[in-house]
Structure 1
Amino acid sequence: MNKEIYEVRKKIVLEFISDKNYRPMKLKEMCTMLGVPRREREELKQVLDQLISEGEAAMDDKGRYKAADEDVLTGTFIGNTKGFSFVHVEGMADDFYIAGENTKNALHGDEVVIQKIAEEKSGRRSEAVVVKVLKRANEMVVGVFEKSKNYGFVVPDNQKIARDIFIDKQNTMGAVNGHKVVVQVLDFGNSRKNPEGKVVEILGHVNDPGVDILSVVRAYHLPEQFPEDVMAQVAEIPDTVLPEEYEGRKDIRNWQTVTIDGEEAKDLDDAVTLKKRADGHYILGVHIADVTHYVREHSPLDKEALRRGTSVYLTDRVIPMIPHKLSNGICSLNAGTDRLALSCIMELDGQGTIVNHEIAKTVIHVDRRMSYTAVKQILEDKNPEVMEAYKELVPMFEMMAEAAAALRQKRKSRGGIDFDFPESKIILDKRGRAVDVKPYERNSATKIIEDFMLAANETIAEDFFWQDKPFLYRTHETPDADRIHKLTVFLKNFGYYLKLKSGEVHPKEFQKLLGKIEGTPEEAMISRLVLRAMMRAKYTTENTGHFGLAVKFYTHFTSPIRRYPDLQIHRIIKEQLDGQLTEKREEHYRKILPAVATETSQAERRADEAEREVDKMKKVEYMAGHLGEVHEGVISGITNWGMYVELPNTCEGMIRLQNMNDYYIFDENKYELRGEMDRQTFRLGQKVKIYIADADKAARTVDFYLADDVEYFQQS
């Protein structure tokens, strides 16, 4: 269904269900009324589903469609251990409060329909009730098995699933106390009855090595093994480029070419080249692995890659989007081998403006596999041994630093926001236990690659936008006005201001703010609050620009080994280059791309959440080995139940109000805690000395005391 036909049908359906004489109908009845043939029934359902997601239509508890009441909304259920819950509606700044008796039988992550019953007032959130669960997120649940005499129950790992799952004696699969298990939910229960399920897999004992991360893999439904038909297809793919595959490609094997990645990276999907002409212009080549040459559309490999959506990088393993034979082999731009690529070759002037470009199918030959560390040692440290080892490449790296600086300055001048949060690297021992957590910061080499990849992504997006071809874009919406208002109120307490125009903010204002707070105690905290005020980037078929980068055109082109959207647009680009993007093929892409955008955005979110969950778990495990130690940290968050403190290694813990030797009052306007007795005040960004008191790996929490309060609590 092309876009024009889809919009016409959407309009017809919306008018039909909005008619004053319309009564709610199920899909089959609606098809009869509208004269929709059986073969087109699924297309009508897609239109109705889209109308529901856009808030134009709703489904009642009997599965009948109707026009949406403005107080009836669709959102994601957010569970809570305290009984009450929230529902997040996409595009709305604040979540809806759901009282415990109004949750129906929804569990965390479910897609639900809610009915608003009370407006926001006096600082309280709008309140709603769950009307219907549209889509279950927890048909399988991971947790710890506890055995009773005639039955068992499972305590979910995800504490936002606040109800234990009852397991009948015949459905325990022989699990014993402390086993980590996967449960299939058979009955989601109700307000008076717990969910019921059966054990379908025993992962091992909760303390067995590797079971903790395996539990996250299962909880997020991350597929570990590739299906047999996928591996059969992979077995037929050659390990080297065949002679006939060079035909029809630009041969640039004689260009000085390098990859620059982390030391441990094995899936190298981007390589770079740079030359400088006599007129001062740079010729920058960004060469990306031609994965689609091996992952053909509709093949088992392609279907599985779309299902996975993205590679997932956990602390002790990578769950790849495509099998290792491809990701680390023929698709990886390994040094000393010929490889097929899709290249974006850009001409830059001295100010970082891209004045010309070429997109081409190429064959390349990488000269050296460089690490970020080695390039940093050349450019920043001027390490003589490293410079000697790569002496033939040093001039190109120095030119790369110049060109990247020009691109970065160009991006800065238009308002691109550059968040520089310290990342962390978690070191595990042979048993998989966390033994160290180190901050991992960007350097000149990582910034060079970032700048070059951003330039290629922007160039490709603009090229195909003006060609008016079906495409996938990476878009980032302007922040919600309510979020910006709350942020501006908060910033005033620190003496910072955001300039607004008609209630909206330009990304350059954020850039100016980040410049002002650089090096201040509150830098990390304000940076995080700015990030939270923004919308989440996603994949879309419509180009609406990227707010954070302050660009009108942006896509993801540079990582087809680990991201499906990149692989998808490579297919479109190559068909266009080969003159095969016919009207029929354009129609095909217009039909499939909306679903690809939605599915890959969801897969990205799932991967991000799983990665964060494992990192949090392993950081808590590391901190458990350092109980009783005193460290200095920075207050990273303040609430009415305590304050969070972040240590230099990026581990975070909480000092709870009940664990402080004074009665503190939380000032929500200034985000401060003020003591009643000694009048001491704690503010965001303030340095404090803490004592590591406890670490609960199951709850993912670390408890700190103020170092000065430890003696008082030990005596009491």
Structure 2
Amino acid sequence: MSAFYYKFIRVDMYNIVENRKKVIMDFVESPMYVPMKEKELATFFGIEKAKRYELKEVLQELLLEGKLEITKRGKYKKSEKKFLLGEFIANQRGFGFVKVEGRDSDIFIPAEYTSNAMNGDTVKVVIDMESGEKKAEGHIIGIEKHANSQVVGYYQKSNRFGFVLPDDTKIFKDIYIPQGKGNGAKTGDKVVVDITDFGNDKKKPEGKVVEILGKNTDIGVDILSIARSFGLPEKFGEEVENELKSIPKKVLKKDIKGRADFRDKVTVTIDGEDAKDLDDAITLEKNGNVWHLGVHIADVTNYVRENTALDKEALQRATSVYLVDRVIPMLPKKLSNGICSLNQGEDRLALSCMMEIDEKGNIIGHNICESVINVNERMTYTAVNEVITNSNEETEKRYADYIDLFKDFKTVSDLLRGARTKRGSIDFDLPESKVILDKNGRAIDIKPYERNSATKLIEDFMLAANETVAEDFFWQDIPFLYRVHENPDPDKMKSLAIFINNFGFTLRRKNDEVPPKEIQKLLVNIDGSDAEPIISRIALRSMKRARYDTVCIGHFGLAAKYYTHFTSPIRRYPDLQIHRIIKENIRNGLSSRRIEHYRNILDDVALQSSKMERRAEEAERETVKYKKCEYMLNHIGEEFDGIISGVTSFGIFVELENTVEGFIRMSDLEGDYFEYNEAGYELVGEFTKKKFVLGQKVRVKVYDIDRLAKRIDFKLVKEKNGRGY
């Protein structure tokens, strides 16, 4: 008998699967091996028939790990497949997807092949099947990095141990808490758990309770739990707090020296009523036929110096996060609401982009400089909108001295927007909602965000400054951070064209490419139609996600060759980062050493900023979903009108007029067996040919709500035939 035989038999005595796998792989990788079937391997190793299931288990694990593969004739050989690294995105139903950077589509992972990966883990994946028509399918062979070192959930106490039921419904296993590791938690407490052992197929993850957040009925604990589950830090560390002590409350005279002094210019800020971190102000004058627009941005870098504790913490957070009941800021309040905020009547340091704009809305000249300003009036979007639309006589009296200025703002805004529209800039005006809370933090109403003339003019001015700064530094060929938005995937544009054709609209493509102007034309054509909400949403889903990069590849959505984020350094790290570069360049120019320094760090800054932006968006979305569930608890059994906002193979999503979205299970669609037509975004009855189509109007009843899963279930009351337009 061979040495391999004795090795397999010997380890069989100890029943050690890992050793058995090593024996098999040593044999497969040896020069004497030729591909064999399972039966041939069993014969070679002398494994009796009754125990061949043990060999089968070992071979199956090696297949799942990607170390072996099976030929068409059923023979085992060393795998030639290469694995890919990606992020595992779990689904509540057990399966998942792996998102691999550089791939246009995700890889589908059936539930039985997830290899114990948790949502967010970085995994090794092998593709098993891939064709042009179907999504790639594969299996996970290993976990490179765990994403969930901490988990938030409900604690359940047993006699000698406990369990934590994760809030994240994409984490399918409870966390086992051994005796003495519960930290005094009681049944029903919301807790934070450090995972000490991630377990395997036969063993639950294990952990210890490190923080008790309180009962879920306690005020604010619901949102705090979501913040913790995303790893959002609330407090700043001791080192940061110590650095804050040396930051002045007033602007120092020495810091004003050498700056352009704009304190004599009429300067205003325009923000929401509740805003406290005011990082942009505006001035506007006219000289002949040329408008002189000043966009003045808080000079945060004067106080947040490179490589300080403040700077490192700001990069770690990368963005402020706006949850329904709180803001988790990128910078401490002493900066964000204090010395950096452009508060009325206070001298403030700024970085100013002074633009010259002609009568066609073209920016024909500019100057970027360090400055000092003093805001004359802290305005709100509501008040400015009432003035420029002549809708409130009392407001007009209150701001009589500024009426001409605000009207001029509107004129210049229209010029800039017109120029952007002419080149093909896309403006998705999808409804967003604001959840209104009572003093106890409970949701009592859901209202749409108002996007009025005042919000649009600020948007126009900020976009103009961002483009101007980006183009300036692109041509200087200096290391920089850009906000980029790549061209859409041609296959998605093809699907969009087919979909909108069902509504009677067309999308012109040239060499499989769709210019921004075509999307813009589509949005104009559907404006005011019943099809507008759903086509706008599908068009937006067909776009790629904007991100940060060190290479200026343009911004598809804005139809802009050059774009960056310059205007919000209090709440976005990329803006703060480029302010440093701009100021260094203004003062002494960048030395070769500093150019090399920025080349070394900016790719990481771009990656971190993009990653933290996604985290913030997800956290914000989850808190809104939770509060919408809370609000709808008072409406169970009530009927509402809505439209079908999503169609899947397992049911349909319906969005109500108040932006609340719920789900109708396939099993609750009565009268037929429905099949999913992915290309047409529809369910079609097998016998009746009845259809449920994206955009179709329906009436639903609120049936059930699961706040923990953040899910609302509807039952269909009646539907309008066809597409509802």
My pick for the range that moved more, 560-569 or 86-95, is 86-95
Partner of residue 8, structure 1: none
Larger Rg: 2
The amino acid of 2:187's aligned partner reads N
Q: Distance in 1 between matches of 2:661 and 2:578?
A: 39
My pick for the range that moved more, 665-674 or 512-521, is 665-674
Q: Is the 8 A contact 1:470 1:590 kept in 2?
A: yes
Q: Residues 592 and 345 from structure 1, CA distance in 2 versus in 1: closer, same or farther, beyond 3 angstroms?
A: same
Q: Residues 584 and 610 from structure 1, CA distance in 2 versus in 1: closer, same or farther, beyond 3 angstroms?
A: same
Aligned mate of 1:391, from 382, 400, 420 = 400
Structure 2 residue matching 1:407: 3-state secondary structure = helix
The amino acid of 2:206's aligned partner reads E
Aligned mate of 2:155, from 145, 148, 173 = 145
- Whether 1:468 aligns to 2:477 is yes
Partner of residue 185, structure 1: 195
Deviation at 1:86, TM superposition (A): 1.4
Structure 2 residue matching 1:310: 3-state secondary structure = coil
Partner of residue 42, structure 1: none
Partner of residue 382, structure 1: 391
Q: Distance in 2 between matches of 1:269 and 1:293?
A: 14
Q: What is the alpha-carbon root mean square deviation over aligned residues?
A: 2.1
Q: Which runs of 4+ in 1 moved over 6 A?
A: 676-679
Q: Distance in 1 between matches of 2:521 and 2:198?
A: 50
Q: Residues 71 and 472 from structure 1, CA distance in 2 versus in 1: closer, same or farther, beyond 3 angstroms?
A: same
Deviation at 1:479, TM superposition (A): 1.3
Q: Distance in 1 between matches of 2:379 and 2:80?
A: 58
Partner of residue 26, structure 1: none
Partner deviation per Cα, 1:520-563 (whole Å, 9 max, x = no partner):
22212221211111111111111111111111100000000000
Aligned mate of 2:108, from 77, 97, 120 = 97
Partner of residue 415, structure 2: 406
Partner of residue 257, structure 1: 267
Partner of residue 293, structure 1: 302
Partner deviation per Cα, 1:331-375 (whole Å, 9 max, x = no partner):
000111111100000000011100000001111111100000001
Q: Is the 8 A contact 2:268 2:376 kept in 1?
A: yes
The amino acid of 2:632's aligned partner reads M
**Percentage of matched positions with identical amino acids:** 55
Q: Which runs of 5+ in 1 are unaligned?
A: 1-22, 24-58, 62-67, 710-716
Partner of residue 329, structure 2: 320
Deviation at 1:142, TM superposition (A): 0.9
Partner of residue 442, structure 1: 451
Partner of residue 46, structure 2: none
Q: Is the 8 A contact 2:314 2:573 kept in 1?
A: yes
Q: Is the 8 A contact 1:665 1:674 kept in 2?
A: yes
My pick for the range that moved more, 370-379 or 193-202, is 193-202
- Whether 1:647 aligns to 2:666 is no
Deviation at 1:650, TM superposition (A): 1.1
My pick for the range that moved more, 147-156 or 299-308, is 147-156
Q: Distance in 1 between matches of 2:150 and 2:640?
A: 40
Partner deviation per Cα, 1:563-617 (whole Å, 9 max, x = no partner):
0100000011001110142111111111111111111111111111110110111
Partner of residue 508, structure 2: 499
Structure 2 residue matching 1:170: 3-state secondary structure = coil
Q: Is the 8 A contact 1:183 1:201 kept in 2?
A: yes
Partner of residue 461, structure 2: 452
Partner of residue 332, structure 1: 341
The amino acid of 1:75's aligned partner reads G
Partner deviation per Cα, 1:646-678 (whole Å, 9 max, x = no partner):
122111112223334422524514333455787
Q: Distance in 2 between matches of 1:510 and 1:551?
A: 14
Q: Is the 8 A contact 2:426 2:558 kept in 1?
A: yes
Q: Distance in 2 between matches of 1:303 and 1:70?
A: 41
- Whether 1:697 aligns to 2:697 is no
Q: Is the 8 A contact 2:290 2:357 kept in 1?
A: yes
Alignment of 1:55-74 (within 5 A): 71-74=82-85
Q: Distance in 2 between matches of 1:479 and 1:708?
A: 36
Q: Distance in 2 between matches of 1:81 and 1:693?
A: 20
Partner of residue 350, structure 2: 341
Partner deviation per Cα, 1:200-246 (whole Å, 9 max, x = no partner):
11111232221111111111111111111211211221111112222
Partner deviation per Cα, 1:152-204 (whole Å, 9 max, x = no partner):
22221111112222222222223222221111111112222222212111111
Deviation at 1:69, TM superposition (A): 8.1
Deviation at 1:438, TM superposition (A): 0.5
- Whether 1:236 aligns to 2:259 is no
Q: Distance in 2 between matches of 1:173 and 1:437?
A: 38
Aligned mate of 1:77, from 88, 91, 94 = 88
User: How many aligned residue pairs are there?
Assistant: 644
My pick for the range that moved more, 695-704 or 198-207, is 198-207
Deviation at 1:151, TM superposition (A): 2.5
- Whether 1:308 aligns to 2:317 is yes
Partner of residue 118, structure 2: 107
Deviation at 1:493, TM superposition (A): 2.3
My pick for the range that moved more, 365-374 or 493-502, is 493-502
Aligned mate of 2:293, from 267, 272, 284 = 284
Q: Distance in 1 between matches of 2:211 and 2:196?
A: 15
TM-score by length of 2: 0.86
Alignment of 1:100-179 (within 5 A): 100-120=111-131, 124-179=134-189
Alignment of 1:545-560 (within 5 A): 545-560=554-569
The amino acid of 1:258's aligned partner reads V
Q: Is the 8 A contact 1:101 1:191 kept in 2?
A: no
Q: Distance in 2 between matches of 1:512 and 1:621?
A: 39
TM-score by length of 1: 0.87
Alignment of 1:663-674 (within 5 A): 663=672, 665-668=674-677, 669-674=679-684
Structure 1 residue matching 2:628: 3-state secondary structure = helix
Q: Distance in 1 between matches of 2:529 and 2:205?
A: 50
Alignment of 1:575-590 (within 5 A): 575-590=584-599
Q: Distance in 1 between matches of 2:692 and 2:139?
A: 38
Q: Distance in 2 between matches of 1:452 and 1:545?
A: 19
Deviation at 1:484, TM superposition (A): 2.2
The amino acid of 1:235's aligned partner reads K
Q: Distance in 2 between matches of 1:477 and 1:261?
A: 30
Q: Residues 687 and 166 from structure 1, CA distance in 2 versus in 1: closer, same or farther, beyond 3 angstroms?
A: same
- Whether 1:489 aligns to 2:498 is yes
My pick for the range that moved more, 664-673 or 259-268, is 664-673
- Whether 1:592 aligns to 2:592 is no
My pick for the range that moved more, 198-207 or 329-338, is 198-207
Aligned mate of 1:417, from 421, 426, 446 = 426
Q: Residues 341 and 80 from structure 1, CA distance in 2 versus in 1: closer, same or farther, beyond 3 angstroms?
A: same
Q: Residues 687 and 173 from structure 1, CA distance in 2 versus in 1: closer, same or farther, beyond 3 angstroms?
A: same
Alignment of 1:262-273 (within 5 A): 262-273=272-283
Partner of residue 53, structure 1: none
Q: Distance in 2 between matches of 1:551 and 1:670?
A: 32
Q: Which runs of 5+ in 2 are unaligned?
A: 1-28, 30-64, 68-78, 720-725
Q: Is the 8 A contact 1:662 1:676 kept in 2?
A: no
Q: Distance in 2 between matches of 1:341 and 1:559?
A: 12
Deviation at 1:60, TM superposition (A): 9.8
Q: Distance in 1 between matches of 2:282 and 2:673?
A: 56
Structure 2 residue matching 1:501: 3-state secondary structure = coil
Q: Distance in 2 between matches of 1:665 and 1:600?
A: 43
Partner of residue 622, structure 1: 631
Structure 2 residue matching 1:695: 3-state secondary structure = strand
